[in-house]
């Protein structure tokens, strides 16, 4: 009886492992297929592979519309990341350290942009703009992206902030540091992992944003995702696989490198401290 | 001087949160309020409306089965997607939590990587799998199992598949976060009292991970029901969801009052589900999952 039960547990565990494997394959198979196809020599965007070629990358480099969209997205994402991180970290600081009326309401309100569908946020802002008779501008698009990224930055910074004991700041204050310099010298350095993590996430949220940007972009402006969308409406050329591969490289490599730098920084600091238990 | 600032003065807090608060008011609260008002405006012709108040938009919404059909289809697709995510996402979350594999971080990192890859690219990459020249059709044709490519794209199944692909990491991370919060000694205790591993799972692990599962279900449902890009890329015209309907009403028909009405409807319906959820579960689990 006992042996049979053990056997059952083993099978359940194997099944779990198998489903996990399938889910991981499911998650990455299409991406791998896209990367492989971007090197296809064939004229059509699909299998079978007829040979290795970089022609689609060459074609991409000559595509002015794509390059312009890439630059636009890059700028928007950089500004979004910088501004969102600044205002998000300060908000998280206030939400964790201070007691003030309306704090609970604000902490709920601040995560709403992540929960309300983008289509609704998109239409809402457009209707407001229309009601007060203003044009769609680049500023509007950037501020919209900041709104979309704020919940994530605040949540990440809040999670880190909770772990920083306030005695450090208070010690600096009691030694005569100003409010600002105690934040800059004590709190901010301790928050660095959250600052970097939040900035990277804000960057990718802005760089990837599609639905809301379709509503908010000024007439004639294409961001990278809206450009891809309009290219897909015409036909699926292998060029788009090459574009996808470039985008994957950019958006995956940047956070990975950032993360590695961060990890080696914390490792240097942690040396000598007792190791965390493995499980 | 009695207006000296104290150490944790609320006035300082207000100054610190001011930029985010202003952004939330002007870009979130005010737009939704104005949109709610717009639902009562009168549509004249494409792009033109007057502020003469009317309930015509709401009447049209409630009487024309075209709209309720769209809403029901969207909720159905959202529910199917969320349930599939729950079933398929629980296994990996449990596996990552329970495995003795040394490089667990790698499995977690692989779950986060999709968040970095453009959502549009992840969605269109399915065309390379399911399309007429995709992996599956080309392989089956080569093996001689089929004579003509199977039509797997541009139907509701493809849309749900694409949504699943986009939402599974959310679900897995949500469940994983709540599994991580379980005190493992509880499971050892259950085992030492004579529970089999299956019983220990059913009586201890599963109930304690339900908050994460529930948060994941809500998140997946809301995001699926609000999707726009996936039906656009992987579905045919008949598979359009409510988000596409809103987009077309505003951007093509330029019927702003109706577009606002549809947006408010979606907002209220999804808000209703979120409210039921927070009523029983509170907000904290969602917060944990998002910060994952």
Chain A to chain B, count of Cβ pairs less than 8 Å apart? 282
User: Is A271 within a domain?
Assistant: no
User: Is A155 within a domain?
Assistant: yes
For residue B18, count other CB atoms closer than 10 A to its CB: 14
The radius of gyration of chain B from alpha carbons, rounded to an integer in Å, stands at: 24
- State the Cα–Cα distance between residues B262 and B268, nearest whole angstrom: 10
Query: Using N-to-C axis directions, what is the helix angle for A238-270 and A224-234, rounded to 10°?
Result: 150
Measured in degrees and rounded to the nearest 5, phi and psi for residue B187 equal: -70, -40
CB B46 within 8 A of CB B253: yes
B226–A119 CB contact, under 8 Å? yes
Interface of B with A in 100-139 (CB under 8 A): 100, 102, 107, 110-111, 113-122, 124-129, 131-135, 138-139
A211–B13 CB contact, under 8 Å? no
pLDDT of residue A160: 87
Question: Residue A184 sits in a domain of what CATH number?
Answer: 1.10.3720.10
Interface of A with B in 54-73 (CB under 8 A): none
Nearest CA in chain B to A226: B120
User: Is A35 within a domain?
Assistant: no
**Nearest CB partner across the interface for B116, out of A46, A156, A252:** A252
| Domain count across chain A | 1
Which chain A positions have a beta carbon within 8 Å of B19's beta carbon? Answer: 87, 90-91
Which chain A positions have a beta carbon within 8 Å of B34's beta carbon? Answer: 124, 127-128, 131
**Nearest CB partner across the interface for B23, out of A128, A150, A278:** A150
Average pLDDT over residues B154-162: 93
Is the torsion defined by CA of B238, B243, B246, B249 positive or negative? negative
Inter-CA distances, A209 with A95, B121, B220, Å: 27, 11, 18
pLDDT of residue B189: 87
Measured in degrees and rounded to the nearest 5, phi and psi for residue A52 equal: -90, 135
Which of A124, A82, A152, A133 lies closest to A216 in space, CA to CA? A124
User: B262 is written with which tokens?
Assistant: 């549809």
**Nearest CB partner across the interface for A23, out of B92, B223, B287:** B92
Q: How far is A248 from chain B (nearest CA, A)?
A: 5
Q: Summarize pLDDT for B1-26 with one digit per residue, the tens.
A: 456 677 788 888 999 999 999 999 99
Q: How far is B251 from chain A (nearest CA, A)?
A: 8
Domain ranges of chain B: 65-291
Whether A159 has its CB under 8 Å from any CB of chain B: the answer is yes
Binned at pLDDT 50, 70 and 90, residue B86 comes out as very high
Which chain A positions have a beta carbon within 8 Å of B10's beta carbon? Answer: 98-101
Helix ranges restricted to H, chain A: 2-37, 55-61, 64-97, 103-109, 112-115, 118-131, 138-162, 166-174, 179-182, 188-208, 211-216, 224-234, 238-270
User: Is A230 within a domain?
Assistant: yes
A156–B267 CB contact, under 8 Å? no
Q: Count CA atoms closer than 13 A to B17's CA, side-chain side.
A: 28
pLDDT (tens, 9 = 90+) of chain A, 279 residues, equals: 455 556 777 888 889 999 999 999 999 999 998 888 888 877 666 677 777 888 888 888 888 999 999 999 999 999 999 999 999 999 999 999 988 888 989 998 999 998 898 999 999 999 999 888 889 999 999 999 999 999 999 999 998 888 888 888 888 888 888 888 888 888 898 888 889 889 988 998 899 899 999 999 998 899 999 998 888 887 767 788 888 898 888 778 777 777 777 777 776 665 544 444 433
**Would you identify the CATH topology of the domain B65-291?**
MetI-like fold (1.10.3720)
Interface of B with A in 174-193 (CB under 8 A): 184
B17–A173 CB contact, under 8 Å? no
pLDDT of residue A278: 39
Binned at pLDDT 50, 70 and 90, residue B58 comes out as very high
The conformation of residue B42, written as its DSSP 8-state character, comes to E
pLDDT of residue A236: 67
Top pLDDT among B40 and A204 is at B40
For residue B203, count other CB atoms closer than 10 A to its CB: 14
State yes or no: pLDDT of B188 exceeds 80: yes
Residue A62 β-bridge partners: none
User: Which of the residues A38, A46, A127, A151 would you substitute to probe the B interface, choosing the one with the greatest number of B C-beta atoms within 10 Å?
Assistant: A127
Q: What is the pTM of this model?
A: 0.86
- A147: Cβ contacts below 8 Å, ≥ 6 apart: A113, A121, B23, B24, B27, B28
**Nearest CB partner across the interface for B222, out of A30, A108, A115:** A115
Average pLDDT over residues B189-195: 85
The boundaries of the domain holding residue A147 are: 56-265
Q: How far is B121 from chain A (nearest CA, A)?
A: 6
Q: Summarize pLDDT for B100-109 with one digit per residue, the tens.
A: 878 888 888 8
């Amino acid at each position: 009886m006992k042996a049979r039960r053990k056997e059952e547990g083993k099978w359940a565990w194997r099944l779990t492992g198998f489903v996990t494997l399938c889910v991981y394959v499911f998650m990455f198979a299409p991406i791998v297929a896209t990367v492989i196809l971007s090197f296809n020599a064939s004229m059509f965007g699909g299998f079978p592979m007829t040979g290795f070629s970089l022609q689609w990358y060459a074609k991409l480099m000559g595509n002015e519309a794509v390059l312009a969209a890439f630059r636009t997205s890059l700028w928007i994402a950089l500004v979004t990341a910088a501004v969102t991180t600044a205002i998000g970290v300060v908000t998280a600081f206030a939400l964790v350290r201070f007691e003030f009326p309306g704090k609970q309401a604000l902490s709920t309100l601040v995560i709403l942009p992540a929960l309300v569908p983008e289509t609704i946020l998109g239409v809402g802002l457009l209707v407001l703009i229309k009601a007060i008779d203003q044009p769609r501008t680049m500023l509007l698009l950037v501020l919209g992206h900041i709104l979309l990224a704020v919940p994530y930055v605040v949540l990440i910074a809040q999670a880190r902030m909770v772990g920083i004991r306030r005695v450090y700041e208070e010690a600096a204050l009691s030694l005569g540091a100003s409010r600002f310099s105690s934040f800059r010298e004590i709190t901010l350095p301790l928050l660095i992992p959250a600052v970097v993590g939040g900035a990277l996430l804000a960057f990718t949220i802005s760089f990837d944003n599609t639905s809301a940007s379709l509503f908010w972009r000024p007439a004639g402006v294409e961001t990278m995702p809206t450009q891809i969308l309009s290219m897909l409406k015409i036909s699926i050329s292998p060029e788009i696989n090459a574009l996808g591969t470039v985008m994957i490289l950019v958006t995956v490599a940047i956070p990975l490198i950032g993360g590695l730098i961060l990890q080696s920084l914390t490792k240097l600091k942690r040396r000598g401290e007792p190791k965390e238990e493995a499980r | 001087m009695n207006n000296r600032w104290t150490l944790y003065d609320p006035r300082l807090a207000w100054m610190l949160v001011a930029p985010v608060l202003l952004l939330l008011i002007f870009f979130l609260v005010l737009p939704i309020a104005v949109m709610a008002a717009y639902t009562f405006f009168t549509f004249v012709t494409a792009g033109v409306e007057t502020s003469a108040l009317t309930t015509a938009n709401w009447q049209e919404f409630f009487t024309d089965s075209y709209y309720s059909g769209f809403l029901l289809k969207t909720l159905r697709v959202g529910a199917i997607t969320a349930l599939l995510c729950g079933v398929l996402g629980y296994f990996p979350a449990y596996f990552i939590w329970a495995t003795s594999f040394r490089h667990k971080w790698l499995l977690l990192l692989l779950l986060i990587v999709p968040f970095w890859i453009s959502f549009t690219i992840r969605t269109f990459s399915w065309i390379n799998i399911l399309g007429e020249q995709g992996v599956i059709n080309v392989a089956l044709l080569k093996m001689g199992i089929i004579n003509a490519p199977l039509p797997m794209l541009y139907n509701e199944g493809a849309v749900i598949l694409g949504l699943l692909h986009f939402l599974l990491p959310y679900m897995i991370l949500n469940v994983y976060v709540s599994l991580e919060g379980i005190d493992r000694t509880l499971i050892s205790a259950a085992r030492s009292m004579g529970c089999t591993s299956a019983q220990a799972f059913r009586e201890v692990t599963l109930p304690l991970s339900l908050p994460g599962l529930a948060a994941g279900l809500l998140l997946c449902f809301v995001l699926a029901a609000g999707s726009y890009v996936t039906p656009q890329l992987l579905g045919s015209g008949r598979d359009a969801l409510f988000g596409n309907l809103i987009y077309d009403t505003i951007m093509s028909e330029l019927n702003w009052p109706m577009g606002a009405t549809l947006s408010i409807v979606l907002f209220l319906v999804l808000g209703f589900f979120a409210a039921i959820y927070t009523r029983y579960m509170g907000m904290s689990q969602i917060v944990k999952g998002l910060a994952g």
